Amino acid sequence: MLLKIHEGHLGINFSCNRAKDIIFWPNMLMQIKNMCESCYTCQTHQPNNCREEIIFHDVPDLPWSKLGCDLFEFNKQQYLLLVDYYSKFVEIAKLNSISTQNVILHMKSIFSRHGIPKLIICDSGSQFTSKEFQNFSSEYEFEFLCSSPYHHQSNGLAEAHVKIVKNLLKKALDDNSDPYLALLSLRNTPKNNSPSPAHLLFSRALRTRLPVSSKNLKPVITPRNKENDEINQDRIRNNYNARSKNLKDIGIGTDVLFKKDVHPKAPWVKGKVINKNIDKYRSYTVADENDYQFNRNRIHLRFFKNNNVVVPCSSQSSLTTPSSTNNNNPQPVISPSTPLSSRPPQPPVVDRSNIVVDRSNIVLSSIGQLFSVVRPNHFFRFSS
């Protein structure tokens, strides 16, 4: 009967409204709700999760110790981008190919000028998850952390500077100007009441085509203003978290639904959490029904509810009123030949014709679709 009520997969409210007009049994609405929530078809076509509250990366105390890395394409040409978390200094390199060997070669060239960082934040591209890149990180003695696939916010600093650099290259192409001069201006411009990226990285300004005093080109150590960073982060956090909420953590071994493809119309696929990546932000390792493993962010996971609904009997006696089903005690069988002394005592007959019920103090309270009678609390009454 529950399956017939849920025909069309119309949801909880529609199914309950449909059933209340034609049928009834005890706990009917609760069983319909459990049936709809545990329906596999309905679960696989749920909308995407809401976004979670923002988490900022820690700003290091030293320049060029923590980098963000990303690959991007502009005008049918591939580029490698590295940005320093401390100074926001950007380095880009044009790639002949996006192979792991070519990416490593240009990284070595950049490291030879600025030094080897301690940590690199990158995406989950094949260039950074390959065994060859792991050997490169071991040889150069730095750590790297790959963000969850399809979750660009985990590598937000690199993604933001990709947008900035692509905009500069696009304007330089339209204006037929030198893109390297545009990058020089970007590196030499102060941001948010802080020194320029070049000053934070090299402790001096870079010489441009603008007239500048030699005094400004001398090295002067200027520490980063952490109070300014905290004020900016608080402003961004308050604006972003106003429309966000954190999702519950998922334990290892929990049945979940996850997104193999993050296309808006892609269905949810059943899987199981086999590992929680502690070193990553809200990242989990999920195995599908064929034991293929995927790394996904918490926003791409949903709890899977098993269908453990107890379907009531479809007999006519169970689909009537609560009085016919609430009494679970077996009734003794009484035949005309049973002596009167062995028969169970009968309740006294009460004349209900003269009973008057005062309904003025009765309050109806609703919980979802269920209604109950709540008696007034006489404890708070005071005599005048």
Q: Is 154 within 8 Å of 280 (Cβ atoms)? A: yes
The tokens describing 163, both together, are 């947008």
Question: Which pTM does this prediction carry?
Answer: 0.69
What distance in Å separates the CA atoms of residue 30 and residue 370, rounded to the nearest whole number?
9
What are residue 373's phi and psi, to 5 degrees? -95, 125
Q: Is 201 within 8 Å of 103 (Cβ atoms)? A: no
Residue 316 to residues 310, 320, 325: CA-CA distances in angstroms? 17, 7, 11
Question: Exposure of 172 by Cβ count < 10 A (0-12 exposed, 13-18 middle, 19+ buried)?
Answer: middle
What are residue 285's phi and psi, to 5 degrees? -105, 125
- Sites in the chain below the pLDDT cut of 70: 264, 278-280, 307-384
Q: Is 296 within 8 Å of 148 (Cβ atoms)? A: yes
Identify the three-state secondary structure at position 264: coil
CB environment 230-247: b (16+ within 10 A), e (fewer)? eeeeeeeeeeeeeeeeeb
Give me the residue label for tokens 């034991």: 291
What distance in Å separates the CA atoms of residue 158 and residue 189, rounded to the nearest whole number?
18
Domain spanning 66-209+225-240: CATH superfamily: Ribonuclease H-like superfamily/Ribonuclease H (3.30.420.10)
Task: Please give the radius of gyration of the chain, using alpha carbons only, rounded to the nearest integer.
Answer: 34
Task: Tell me the Ramachandran region of residue 368: left when phi exceeds 0, alpha when psi lies from -120 to 50, beta otherwise.
Answer: left
pLDDT at 322: 40
- DSSP letter at 254 equals -
The tokens describing 18, both together, are 């449909």
Task: Tell me the Ramachandran region of residue 115: left when phi exceeds 0, alpha when psi lies from -120 to 50, beta otherwise.
Answer: left
